Amino acid sequence: MTTYGSFPGSRPRRLRTTPVMRRMVAENRLHPADFILPAFVREGVSEPVPIAAMPGVVQHTRDSLKKAAAEAVAAGISGIMLFGVPEESKKDAFGTPGTDPDGILQVALRDVRAEVGDELLVMSDLCLDETTDHGHCGVLDDQGRVDNDATLERYAEMAQVQADAGAHVVGPSGMMDGQIGVVRDALDQIGREDVAILAYTAKYSSAFYGPFREAVGSSLKGDRKTYQQDPANARESLRELALDLEEGADMVMVKPAGPYLDILAKVAEVSDVPVAAYQISGEYSMVEAAAEKGWLDRDRAIFETLTGIKRAGARNILTYWAVEAALKLRD
C-alpha cells in the first residue's frame, strides 16, 4: 500500500476499537445516582391520569406516587421532585393550596417520606404556578404584574410548610429576585437548617415547557417573560448564580437542559456547589414523539441526551426517564 509522508501520524481510532476499549476511556459516565425523578400528584383522582403530551408520564394518585417513590429507591436514583396539582376549585389569586398544610403537595410529601424515609431525597417544587388561578409563579399587583416582594412572603411560608411536611430539599423555581435568601431565612427561623435549597438559578422562558403545562393543569394566560430569563442572554446567568450563592443556595440548576448546554457549562465551570440540570417536558416529548414515528432509536437518543447534559457539567439531572435509565444502566 502506498503511504504519503508520515500521515496519519496519530491514530485516535485505536481507542474506539471495541466496546470495552470505549468504555475504559470514556470521559463521562452516567450513574443511577445522577438522576432525580420529577413526579406529579393530582388531588381528587382515584387512578393515575395519563398526560397526553408526555407519553408514559402520569399525574399520580397518592397511592401510585408512593409506589413510584419505592421504585425510585429500588432503581438507585437519588431523588424525587414533587409537583402538586390541586383541584381547580381550590386555586385562588394567592395560591392558597401551596401553604395549606393539607394541600396536595404537603400531603404527598408526608406520604412519600413515610414510604421511603431517608432512602430517597424527597424534594418539593417551591412555586405558586400550580396553585394560582392566574397561573403565574407569584402574587399579582393591581395592574396584573407579578409583585416580586409580595411573592417572597408567600415563598417563605411555603418553605416552612414544605419543610414541616418532610421535604429534604426545596426547589424555589419562580425566578423572583431574592428568593433564595428569603427561603433560607424562613427555614432557619423554624430551626430547619437541615433542609437544603436547590436553586433554579438559570430558568429560561422557553417554548419547551409546553407539555408541563398540561402535567400541572396550568391556568396560565400570557407568558412569564418578565421574570424568567431571556433565551438570548448568557452573562445574566452568571449574575444569577453569584446572587444565589451569596444568598445561601446549596445546589444550583439550569433549566431547560438540552437547549442551554452552553449555559450549563458556564455555570458548572465557576460554581463551587453541585450543579443540576432539568431535562424538561418538551425535551422528553420530542424524543418520545420521534421514536413513536420510528424516526430515531429511542434508547440511543435518551442516553445521548443524558450524556450530553452530564458532559456539559451537570452533577445531577432531573429527567422523566430517571428510573428507566437507571435500571438500564444497572442491567
Q: 259 with 229: CB under 8 angstroms?
A: no
Q: Which of 66, 255, 266, 310 is catalytic?
A: 255
Q: Which of 66, 67, 90, 203 is catalytic?
A: 203
Query: What's the rounded Cα separation, in Å, for the pair 193 and 177?
Result: 22
- 203 assigned to active site: yes
Residue 116 has pLDDT above 80, yes or no: yes
Average pLDDT, the chain: 94
How much is the pLDDT for 212?
A: 76
**pTM score:** 0.94
How much is the pLDDT for 4?
A: 66
**In this predicted model, which residue has the larger pLDDT, 1 or 228?**
228
- 66 assigned to active site: no
Exposed/middle/buried for residue 76 (C-beta within 10 Å: 0-12, 13-18, 19+): middle
Peptide bond before residue 231 is cis, with ω within 30 degrees of 0: no
What is the tens place of the pLDDT at every residue in 35-81?
Answer: 999 999 999 999 999 999 999 999 999 999 999 999 999 999 999 99
* Distant-in-sequence, close-in-space partners of 230: CB < 8 Å, separation ≥ 6: 204, 205, 236
**Structure-derived torsion over alpha carbons of residues 88, 94, 95, 96, reported in degrees to the nearest 10:** -90
Residue 220 has pLDDT above 70, yes or no: no
How much is the pLDDT for 218?
A: 73
The alpha carbons of the chain give a radius of gyration, in whole angstroms, of: 21
Rounded alpha-carbon distances, angstroms, from residue 12 to 8, 25, 309 = 10, 11, 24
How much is the pLDDT for 134?
A: 86
